[in-house]
């Protein structure tokens, strides 16, 4: 089973179990008339709908590259996560509305103990599904699975608070506690939805992932060739679990095309091993004469006969130098 099939299988199980949880929560609401339990049931609708959207997006994003989509279909996962963020936010607003409605027009609450058992068990299942979804999503760099898993986990955290509030309601009989729970957890759900939206929008706009770039710089520092004067102008775009990267590699000016190609191939090999062949790299080679040999002190090349300054130490690759472009270097 390859990575894409595994992601789809995980999401398929999540959708199936979420559907069963949805039925259980609405059964609890019909038994109790508790708007607090309704908040949990409403969010389960979002779980199921978002789960189906994520499953479709994983299937779509797994499609191979074609003439119309030369970078593949991985961006569909970002769109899926955005849809989920919108649905979560809408569900939170609806829950708050129901809380206000029940505050002014209360209904009798009954069989609350049975409702508490159902909600608590559903929360445990959600947590286990969420943890596994995030684990698989991070392992295979799937934004759809990570977003879905975090949503399920946030659902669990709100369920813990909801159960605590329902227990207080059960033992005190104070009716407005039910609406207060709806306000509190509806607000938490809204914040969760907005957080997912902010992250997916940033990814859709190809915002630089500094954590990823730092990770790459660290790996290259550890395994770099002594003849690499520097690596700069690095840009990385994510498409699903694939990475498309451009960078400039500065080498001694007298290198032949063949030797320059060998050094570029070494750079490609290091990153492909690190990211399990999920990276496609385009390298531009710069000769050190472009910078008037100002890098002599940090060039470890032992065969250079044109040094103007003695070698001191190799300059480490940092985030600042890694993403620095040629115009910035010239100034």
Residue 160: phi and psi, rounded to 5, are -60, -50
Does 172 share its domain with 31? yes
Provide the number of structural domains found in the chain.
2
Does 193 share its domain with 254? no
In the DSSP assignment, the letter for residue 206 is T
Does 101 share its domain with 242? no
Q: Which of 179, 204, 229 is the last residue of a domain?
A: 204
pLDDT at 106: 66
In the DSSP assignment, the letter for residue 67 is S
Does 63 share its domain with 194? yes
Does 233 share its domain with 299? yes
Contact between 25 and 37 under an 8 Å Cβ cutoff? The reply is yes
Contact partners, residue 331, CB within 8 Å, separation at least 6: none
Contact partners, residue 269, CB within 8 Å, separation at least 6: none
Does 89 share its domain with 176? yes
pLDDT at 172: 81
Count of beta carbons in the 10 Å neighbourhood of residue 270: 18
In the DSSP assignment, the letter for residue 24 is H
The CATH number assigned to the domain holding 262 equals 3.30.70.1350
Does 265 share its domain with 165? no
Does 191 share its domain with 325? no
The CATH number assigned to the domain holding 188 equals 1.20.1510.10
pLDDT at 265: 92
pTM, rounded to two decimals: 0.53
Task: Walk along the chain (331 residues) and give the pLDDT tens digit of each residue.
Answer: 566 677 777 778 888 888 888 888 888 888 887 877 877 787 777 778 777 776 776 666 666 666 665 555 556 666 667 777 787 788 778 778 777 876 776 666 777 788 888 888 988 888 888 888 888 888 776 766 777 787 777 777 777 777 887 888 778 877 777 778 778 877 877 887 888 788 777 766 656 677 888 888 888 888 888 888 888 888 887 766 678 888 899 888 888 899 999 999 999 998 888 887 678 888 999 888 745 556 787 787 877 777 777 777 788 888 888 877 765 555 4
Q: Which of 204, 220, 240 is the last residue of a domain?
A: 204
Q: Where are the alpha helices (DSSP H) in 105-209?
A: 112-139, 143-172, 176-204
Q: Reading across the β-sheet that carries 230-239, which strands appear in turn? A: 230-239, 242-251, 279-287
Q: What angle do CA 35, 38, 44 make, to 5 degrees?
A: 160
Q: Which of 204, 225, 240 is the last residue of a domain?
A: 204
Does 186 share its domain with 215? no
pLDDT at 258: 92
Strand-pairing partners, residue 283, are 247
Strand-pairing partners, residue 236, are 245
């Amino acid at each position: 089973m390859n990575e894409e099939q595994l992601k789809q299988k995980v999401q398929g199980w999540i959708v199936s179990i979420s559907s069963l949880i949805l039925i259980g929560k609405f059964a609890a609401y019909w038994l109790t008339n508790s708007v607090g339990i309704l908040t949990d049931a409403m969010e389960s609708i979002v779980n199921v709908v978002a789960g189906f959207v994520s499953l479709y997006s994983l299937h779509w994003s797994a499609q191979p590259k074609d003439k119309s989509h030369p970078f593949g279909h991985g961006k569909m996962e970002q769109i899926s996560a955005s849809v989920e963020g919108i649905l979560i936010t809408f569900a939170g607003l609806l829950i708050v509305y129901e809380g206000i409605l029940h505050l002014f027009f209360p209904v009798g609450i009954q069989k609350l103990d049975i409702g508490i058992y159902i909600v608590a068990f559903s929360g445990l299942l959600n947590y286990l599904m969420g943890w596994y979804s995030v684990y698989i999503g991070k392992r295979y760099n799937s934004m759809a699975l990570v977003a879905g898993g975090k949503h399920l986990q946030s659902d669990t955290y709100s369920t813990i608070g909801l159960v605590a509030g329902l227990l207080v309601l059960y033992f005190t009989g104070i009716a407005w506690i039910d609406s207060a729970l709806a306000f509190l957890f509806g607000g938490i759900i809204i914040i969760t939805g907005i957080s997912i939206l902010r992250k997916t929008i940033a990814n859709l706009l190809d915002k630089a992932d500094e954590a990823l770039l730092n990770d790459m710089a660290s790996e290259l520092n550890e395994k770099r060739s002594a003849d690499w004067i520097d690596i700069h102008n690095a840009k990385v775009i994510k498409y699903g679990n694939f990475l498309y990267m451009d960078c400039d590699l500065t080498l001694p000016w007298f290198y032949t095309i063949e030797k320059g190609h060998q050094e570029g191939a070494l750079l490609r090999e290091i990153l492909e091993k690190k990211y399990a062949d999920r990276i496609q790299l385009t390298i531009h080679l710069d000769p050190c004469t472009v910078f008037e040999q100002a890098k002599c002190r940090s060039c470890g090349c032992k065969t250079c006969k044109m040094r103007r300054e003695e070698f001191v130490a190799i300059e480490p690759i940092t985030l600042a130098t890694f993403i620095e472009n040629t115009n910035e270097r010239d100034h």
